[in-house]
Amino acid sequence: MGCSSNVLYKGHATYTMILSVSDLTSLMGARHASPHDLLGMHNCSYQKKRGLVVRVVLQDAAECAVVDPAKQERWPMERLDEAGAFEVFLPRRRKAFHYQLEVKSHRGDLRTIHDPYRFLPTLSEQDLYLFNEGNEHRIYEKLGAHLRTMDGVAGVGFAVWAPNASQVSLLGNFNQWDGRYHPMRSMGASGVWELFVPGLVEGEYYKYQIRDQAGNTQIKTDPYGTHFEAPTNNASIVCDTRKHKWADQAWMDRRREQASQLDRPMSIYEVHLGSWRRNPDEGNRQLTYRELAPQLADYAVELGFTHIEIMPVAEHPFEGSWGYQVTGFFAPTHRFGTPEDFAWFVDHLHQRGIGIILDWVPAHFPRDSFALAQFDGTHLYEHADPRKGAHMDWGTLIFNYGRNEVRCFLIANALAWLDRYHIDGLRVDAVASMLYLDYSRKAGEWVPNQYGGRENLEAIDFLKRTNQLVHEYYPGVMMIAEESTSFPGVSRPVETGGLGFDYKWNMGWMHDTLSYFSKESAHRKWHQNDLTFGMLYQYAENFVTVLSHDEVVHGKASMLFKMGAWHIPEKAANLRALYAHMWMWPGKKLLFMGGEFAQSHEWDYQRSLDWHLCQYPDHAGVRRLVGDLNRLYTQESVLGRNDLNSTGFQWLACYDNEASVIAYLRLNAEHCEMLAVVGHFTPVVRKNYRLSVPRGGMWREVLNTNSEFYGGSGLGNGGGCHTEPVAADGHGQSIALTLPPYATLVFKWSESG
């Protein structure tokens, strides 16, 4: 390091300062881009002598001395600035050593500390190379804030990517949020800024002060932060995400063993944690992760759900976004507890045999000034061109998927949830908005790709790579796409030209089926196609048949009140018929909370579900039915283990629009096991309704949504029907059925009664 001399007057004495006045001014103005060139210990020539210079900037320091613990030597430092800059020249020392600082505060307190500027970087050149290349898949272990031990000294290492910043400082309670005291080291062309601060511990609040090339500063939270303070301060919090001692090894082993078994029973209960259930005895407060886990586990086990899908729990400031506008991508929200509490939540559910699917949001992020938007004064994470970087519908920003470091951030984020919290699946939100450059845009509002097309090639490549890496690192973890268009191969392997997801939400089935059931019965005969059209594309993807949260908000009405009938009992009967049809139709299952007991109100994220409704027969009956449907679905191999097999479905009757009846078979490959499903969606009773069946024998009625147990009238088929030698629809035998109003019936074949 070069040295220059400047005379600094201190009271009645003079001291020839080694540091230049310009460097001191830049350093104490938090403007110096290379603080480690000035601070810490360096070789230096001073007054024709060779030695070491030590320079520090300390808050609340009246005096400071450099101490060599090994040789028990001590050198008082000269004060350069009232704000706390000190330096000292050690003329007889040539080799750097591990020194400490003895600091006396203005109050007279004496403390011995380690200097942050004597430590080497916490990131290697290889780490930075792979990050800039987009291939450091565990960059979440390098960037962010991490408890580390350097040279035997415990502290916290901080690292942040801000390539266009002119200077970055660490802020926190430990320096009274003053950017002069912990300026960070630039790691050169990597764009990463780094600092190890000895003595800091878990629980420290921090942010980054980032100065752009024009000299303007902004305060940002950590993109890789793992825990956050509540709004409005939103500070990042140093957190050890490895504290929880997991006890779910049996679950994890079983998950790995099932990695190749895509066609297995999967019935998902979709939950918004903040409004599933609240504590009315304590001001209707939200439950914590540790309170929710046993209650949700009990409920899911009772009703037979195999998985719980939680709407996004990544940190977000606005509750009305339901978690879909994320500002802390690596942090479980503070609303329900700590990251350790969230790990406990997942662990408990695993031990109860329930899988956890997490909604993941890589499609966009909000414009909040404290988070990712214009992070280093430039469009870093988002595209600069609003035709590519601004989301028209949600007022949010779109990630720049073509930038290596942004892609690395997102891929690492997916992997971090699986690594740190043992998540069993990621349901990727708003995939359609990622796939198309013209999504929700008019002509002139979007930029074609390099070939002149509308596909977002960079986003497509990102999705493929993410799915490949998830499956490589975590066999058995499911990747599920919420994709609302007919983009080909969403749930097909990347190797065969697909996007690599395991499953795709069946949005078309949901739209058409709800459209049908919302109509009054007299009009349904004109819309039979709504029930049958979906089979034309059913096996084009690995579908999850869904009735999600999006269908019960914004004036769309609850599931119960969507039904095209006037009175609650009729609405409940329609809903029961719909649910049975849904569970029998091919595809994995997903139902949003409240739907299982026919919630009356639309979903409101600010209040609990209407659990009191479960005391009434119409609501209790729907709840009982959902439990029985889950049990039938998981126990009958022709259902839960035969959803993706195109030979496992046959129409029996899809043409009888006058009676509003559909009927179909679910069967195994050998056709030795089969269920006949009959849906009747008018208010009349149809007796002696003849249905062609492929096998003679007994067809036992295993489910009837009109059962008194579910709130119906009890009219049915007396437990089942024997076939009669009456030919119909190409089969030599048939059964004569009684079809109750608004009911779905399921019959299981056996060769004899």
Kindly report, residue by residue over 184-223, the tens digit of the pLDDT: 999 999 999 999 999 999 999 999 999 999 999 999 999 9
At residue 92 the predicted structure's pLDDT band, cuts being 50, 70 and 90, is confident
Q: Distance between CA atoms of 138 and 149, rounded to whole angstroms?
A: 19
Residue 57 shares a structural domain with residue 76: yes
- Arithmetic mean of pLDDT over the chain: 95
Residue 660 shares a structural domain with residue 571: yes
Q: Which residues pair with 148 in a beta bridge?
A: 155
- Give the CATH number for residue 150: 2.60.40.10
* Distance set, CA 497 to CA 11, 135, 407, 568 (Å): 77, 22, 21, 48
Q: pLDDT for 296-312, tens place per residue?
A: 999 999 999 999 999 99
Residue 147 shares a structural domain with residue 87: no
Report residue 193 as tokens.
Answer: 């800024």
487 within domain boundaries: no
- Give the CATH number for residue 675: 2.60.40.1180
Task: Please say whether the dihedral angle defined by the alpha carbons of residues 411, 416, 419 and 425, taken in this order, is positive or negative.
Answer: negative
Q: Distance between CA atoms of 387 and 374, rounded to whole angstroms?
A: 16
Angle at 125 between CA 124 and CA 129, to 5 degrees: 120
Q: Is the peptide bond before 232 cis (omega within 30 degrees of 0)?
A: yes
What count of Cα atoms within 13 Å lies in the side-chain half-sphere of residue 246? 18
496 within domain boundaries: no
**Whose CA is closest to 177, among 145, 225, 224, 209?**
209
**For the chain, what is the largest distance between any 2 Cα atoms, rounded to a whole number of angstroms?**
120
Residue 183 shares a structural domain with residue 107: no
Residue 110 shares a structural domain with residue 17: yes
Residue 150 shares a structural domain with residue 20: no
Residue 147 shares a structural domain with residue 172: yes
Q: Distance between CA atoms of 289 and 310, rounded to whole angstroms?
A: 12
At residue 13 the predicted structure's pLDDT band, cuts being 50, 70 and 90, is low
Residue 79 shares a structural domain with residue 175: no
723 within domain boundaries: yes
Residue 5 has pLDDT above 80, yes or no: no
At residue 10 the predicted structure's pLDDT band, cuts being 50, 70 and 90, is very low
599 within domain boundaries: no
* Distance set, CA 300 to CA 214, 552, 620, 633 (Å): 56, 21, 16, 15
629 within domain boundaries: yes
Task: Please say whether the dihedral angle defined by the alpha carbons of residues 686, 688, 693 and 695, taken in this order, is positive or negative.
Answer: positive
At residue 16 the predicted structure's pLDDT band, cuts being 50, 70 and 90, is confident
Residue range(s) defining the domain that contains residue 163:
125-237
87 within domain boundaries: yes
Min mean pLDDT across 4-8, 110-114, 617-621, 739-743 is at: 4-8
Beta pairing class for 649-653 and 661-667: antiparallel
Q: pLDDT for 138-179, tens place per residue?
A: 999 999 999 999 999 999 999 999 999 999 999 999 999 999
* Distance set, CA 445 to CA 133, 388, 397, 483 (Å): 31, 9, 15, 22
Q: Which residues lie closer than 8 Å to 595 by C-beta, 6 or more apart?
A: 547, 552, 558, 559
> Tell me, what's the pLDDT at 669?
83
Residue 114 shares a structural domain with residue 138: no
106 within domain boundaries: yes
Quote the radius of gyration of the chain (alpha carbons, Å): 32
Q: Distance between CA atoms of 111 and 104, rounded to whole angstroms?
A: 7
Q: Other C-beta atoms within 10 Å of 206: how many?
A: 24
> Tell me, what's the pLDDT at 8?
52
Percent of the chain with pLDDT over 70: 98
> Tell me, what's the pLDDT at 289?
98
Q: Which residues lie closer than 8 Å to 299 by C-beta, 6 or more apart?
A: 269
The answer to whether the CB of 248 falls within 8 A of the CB of 348 is no
Average pLDDT (269-295) is 96
Which SS3 state, helix, strand or coil, does residue 303 take? helix
Number of domains in the chain: 3
Min mean pLDDT across 348-352, 410-414, 727-731 is at: 727-731
Which SS3 state, helix, strand or coil, does residue 495 take? helix
Strands (E), 151-306: 153-161, 167-172, 185-186, 192-198, 205-211, 217-220, 236-237, 267-271, 278-279, 285-286
What count of Cα atoms within 13 Å lies in the side-chain half-sphere of residue 35? 30
> Tell me, what's the pLDDT at 70?
94
Catalytic residues: 429, 482
Report residue 20 as tokens.
Answer: 């230049």
Residue 544 shares a structural domain with residue 668: yes
User: Position of tokens 């009956």?
Assistant: 621
Residue 623 shares a structural domain with residue 734: yes
Beta pairing class for 478-481 and 425-428: parallel
Predicted structure pTM score:
0.95
Q: Other C-beta atoms within 10 Å of 576: how many?
A: 29
At residue 45 the predicted structure's pLDDT band, cuts being 50, 70 and 90, is confident
Q: Which of residues 87, 118, 149 is at a domain's end?
A: 118
649 within domain boundaries: yes
**Whose CA is closest to 309, among 404, 428, 159?**
428
The answer to whether the CB of 308 falls within 8 A of the CB of 269 is yes
> Tell me, what's the pLDDT at 9?
40
DSSP structure class, residue 281:
G
Question: Would you give the end-to-end CA distance of the chain in angstroms?
Answer: 95
Q: Other C-beta atoms within 10 Å of 418: how many?
A: 17
Q: What are phi and psi of 589, to 5 degrees?
A: -115, 145
Residue 38 shares a structural domain with residue 136: no
Q: Which of residues 118, 136, 158 is at a domain's end?
A: 118
DSSP structure class, residue 600:
S
Q: Which of residues 91, 118, 145 is at a domain's end?
A: 118
The answer to whether the CB of 577 falls within 8 A of the CB of 745 is no
